[in-house]
Amino acid sequence: MPRLPRFALIGLGAVLGLLLLLAAALVLLADTDVYKSRLERIASQALGLELSIAGRPAIDIFPGLQLTLDDVHVRRGGKELASARQAKIGIDLSSLFGDTLRIQKIVLTQPLITVAREHDGRFDFEPQAPAAEDAAADAPVQDWPDVSLSAGSIDFVDKRHGKGFEARDCKGEVHRLQRAGGRRADFLREVTFTAEFDCAQIRKDGHTLHDVKFSADAKHGIVELKPLSTRLLGTPGQGSIRADFTGAVASYQIAYTLTQFPVEEFFSTMQLKKLAGGRMDFSATLTTHGTTLAELKQAMAGRVSLRGKGLTFYGSDLDRSFERFEASQTFSLVDVGAVFFAGPVGLLVTKGYDFAQLAQGNGGTSEIRTLVSDWKVERGVAHAQDVAMATKANRIALHGGLDFVNERFDAVTVALVDLKGCAIVKQEIRGSFSAPSVSKPNAIEALTGPALRLLKKGADALTGRQCEPFYSGAVAAPG
């Protein structure tokens, strides 16, 4: 008997495989309603949730066995957790002939996923806390199929402190998703996965990040988002986030850099007209730990920096105002110092300050040659390390702290300083962020001549005694 050529055997095998796929598809198509009910039941049992399929299933056999489901919904106790316009499910063919349906991959189109973390720390998609005897038992390892999504939306809220975010127009993939076996304690400690995500925008606390992209890696209770890229204030930013859930409370490390962002964009987010122009660099490295928002604030530590050169301040000629200071001694240094607050400390600090008055000065403009605003954060309080700016003829510096825990100014003092860094005029701001109390400018001596002339001579020439420099940082005195 002649032997069949090798290519003929391969072709015969391919034909037999195709016939097997066609037979499986015909079996499924024979009664899709019955199979849909079976799929809903199996998936609901596997997820521990209620899955329903509103549309009629369709089956494809190329490139592999794939089930297409339209209008899919996932609920728990009647509350909808997720939905998708379409879900494509890749199925292991051999599992059709057994008792367990094995899903290889899930592809979601236009999913809407709503996730909440309850007050007890449990996610709403997790099963209710088991009875004591069940909790002591070891749970099996759970392996889930790879998941990809497109044109998706994700809403998250943490009910423990009422914060969350909304992500829109997201696409991404999740691979090697697994929950470790053993006693169930914390989902984030037990889950491992890798993922890549790209969202057109993420909204949080009234701010919007655009073009958010990141790679995620979760393993042994540690989740890292690195690299993380965004577009904020019309500028590309880079950063990373590391969350550690292995301890009694979660801890976080956050790093972010925004290079050469337009100052105008910042003020526009506050719905204010253009107060300043130019570009600045922002960077932050922060750590914190805790469960509640108050705990996270209390534990915050790290450094924040804002720096810029060649900026323009609109609405007032600052040097001209300093020259005329002696006429009334009512010029507010805090008005000038507010540009510091508008930077690294964010909207929380500035929400109680009347920025509109900054644009109601003498109608001129000011060149801010250099601005440095460096802060060290300890236990939720930002302490000024080097905060100053220089115009063509003057320097203004700031001391003090910003207490984010109690939302108060901590002995913040703004000063006009001479060539040696000694204070000529000081002004303090105290009280809460929402209702600050600003003192009147306090000169070290009665001013009888133009402030500009005093600055050139130095405070010690005026008083006849050596002064203790108020400022000795990186911002040089005007030449």
Position 150: which residue type? S
pLDDT digits (tens, 9 = 90+) for 309-344: 999 888 778 888 777 655 445 556 776 666 655 554
Position 241: which residue type? I
Angle at 371 between CA 253 and CA 320, to 5 degrees: 150
Among candidate residues 274, 279, 277, 272, the one with its CA nearest the CA of residue 258: 279
Residue 85 tokens, joined: 């316009």
Number of CB atoms found within 10 A of residue 423's CB: 22
> What is the model's pLDDT at position 465?
54
Residue 225 tokens, joined: 């988002």
Residue 56, domain member (yes or no): no
Residue 311, domain member (yes or no): yes
Residue 165, domain member (yes or no): no
Residue 312, domain member (yes or no): yes
Residue 410, domain member (yes or no): yes
User: Which helix or strand (DSSP H or E) is residue 259 part of?
Assistant: strand 251-262
- Sequence length of the chain is 479
- What is each CA distance from 259 to 234, 347, 386, in whole angstroms? 11, 19, 19
Residue 447, domain member (yes or no): yes
How far is 254 from 69, CA to CA, in rounded Å? 40
> What is the model's pLDDT at position 36?
74
Name the 3-class secondary structure at 206: coil
Q: Are 313 and 278 in contact (CB under 8 A)?
A: no
Among candidate residues 180, 247, 249, 182, the one with its CA nearest the CA of residue 218: 180
CA dihedral (127, 130, 135, 138) in degrees, to 10, reads -50
All residues at 6 or more sequence positions from 98 whose CB lies less than 8 Å from its CB, including other chains: none
Residue 392, domain member (yes or no): yes
Q: Which residues pair with 153 in a beta bridge?
A: 112
How far is 76 from 82, CA to CA, in rounded Å? 10
> What is the model's pLDDT at position 397?
93
- What is each CA distance from 212 to 108, 158, 238, 465, in whole angstroms? 20, 21, 10, 57
How far is 229 from 338, CA to CA, in rounded Å? 29
What domain range is 284 assigned to?
Answer: 248-479
Q: How many domains does the chain divide into?
A: 1
Residue 242, domain member (yes or no): no
Among candidate residues 219, 231, 292, the one with its CA nearest the CA of residue 256: 231
> What is the model's pLDDT at position 434?
80
Among candidate residues 374, 309, 362, 303, the one with its CA nearest the CA of residue 335: 362
Q: What are phi and psi of 418, to 5 degrees?
A: -90, -170
Residue 378 tokens, joined: 């300890």
Regions of the chain short of the pLDDT cut 70? 1-35, 46-47, 62, 93-101, 127-137, 181-185, 270-273, 324-332, 335-363, 443-465
pLDDT digits (tens, 9 = 90+) for 13-70: 444 444 455 545 545 544 556 667 777 887 777 667 788 888 888 877 767 778 888 9
